[in-house]
Amino acid sequence: MSEEIQRHFERAADCIEDDQVLLENDRFAAAVTRAYYAMFHAATAALLAAGIERSSHHGLLSAFGEHFVKTQRVDRKFFLYLREAFEQRQQSDYDPLVDIDRQAVQEALDHAIDFVTVCRSLTE
């Protein structure tokens, strides 16, 4: 595994830890953002391992779906986790009134943990 890929997985792990701290402190909007970025870094690592680079969030989403879901290397639910986390991140970062509760954040965190695990398996 290249150093760049390893660093993305380290960043994903950091984001999950940050998410847990934010959730414990009722910082739901910020916690959702960390869940997305854990997935973002894991997806980036998996794509880099496959020789694919994307520079935008939308490009990353598309490439993940095209190269891992359409080829049936991962279950479609992981693409849905990534897309939902992206949408929640958009809402929490840009909308002045964010309606995200503890249960939604816990679900996003659980999805992020599963997503990182799946992405790591794609690089082995």
**Domains of the chain (ranges, CATH numbers):** 3-122 (1.20.120.330)
| Phi, psi angle pair for 4, to nearest 5° | -65, -45
What pLDDT does residue 99 have?
84
List all residues 6 or more positions away from 75 whose beta carbon is below 8 Å from its beta carbon. Answer: 69
24: number of Cβ within 10 Å = 9
In 6-112, the DSSP E strands lie at none
CB-CB contact of 41 with 8 (8 Å): yes
pLDDT < 50 stretches in the chain: none
What pLDDT does residue 26 have?
95
CB-CB contact of 105 with 23 (8 Å): yes
What pLDDT does residue 7 have?
98
